[in-house]
Amino acid sequence: MSAEATLRGPRPDDAAALAAFARASFAATYAPSHDAGRIARHCDTVLSDDAVRGWLADPTQSLLLALRADELLGFVQWHRAAAPVAAREAVEVKRLYVAANAHGSGLGRRLLDAVAERAREGGADLLWLCVYAGNARALRFYARYGFAQIGQVPYTFVDQTEDDLALGLRLAAASP
């Protein structure tokens, strides 16, 4: 399926579809381990249409969408951000969501490859992210990609603070 997907940057008119996709992905991922009411509150605030319009308008945030025809199959969001370990220049993957019907297709790897390439080209030597310790699928994916735990970072989910695992991947310098 990933060979069929086209990667492109977002447009302002993508906001509503992107927000709906993010809410559905988040809810599906965390429904087995978190209270439905708290998931809904998180989705209604952090992943609202207005919040996503804010991402798209923020010049410090980068996004890449994966589409097949007009169907959104996934997206990745990243930005430059200090990491919990020393780095000359660090890029944080803020979100990487892939539709359930595209899991295992290589699409997540393609999106992450694209971020790593852009990060390297921008002079970053570390790609990092935070992941919920109970998200076994994500932990397996990132381990296969080469990420290793570099610390823990507090994450507030609605009204509860948990420690997410911080994972990092050292990047080789971009080829001239």
CATH number at residue 17: 3.40.630.30
Residue 176 lies in a domain: no
Contacts of 162 (CB under 8 A, 6+ apart): 132, 133, 154, 155
pTM exceeding the 0.85 threshold for the entire prediction? yes
With 50 as the cut, is the pLDDT of residue 2 above it?
A: no
For residues 81-91, average pLDDT: 94
pLDDT at 126: 97
Residue 6 lies in a domain: yes
Report the C-alpha gap between 154 and 88 in whole angstroms: 23
For 97-134, write each residue's pLDDT tens digit. 999 999 999 999 999 999 999 999 999 999 999 999 98
Report the C-alpha gap between 145 and 158 in whole angstroms: 30
Domain span at residue 45 reads 2-170
Residue 154 lies in a domain: yes
Higher pLDDT, 25 or 175: 25
For 135-155, write each residue's pLDDT tens digit. 999 999 999 999 999 999 988
User: What total of structural domains would you count in the chain?
Assistant: 1
Q: Which of 29-33, 48-52, 88-92, 144-148 has the lowest mean pLDDT?
A: 29-33
Residue 101 lies in a domain: yes
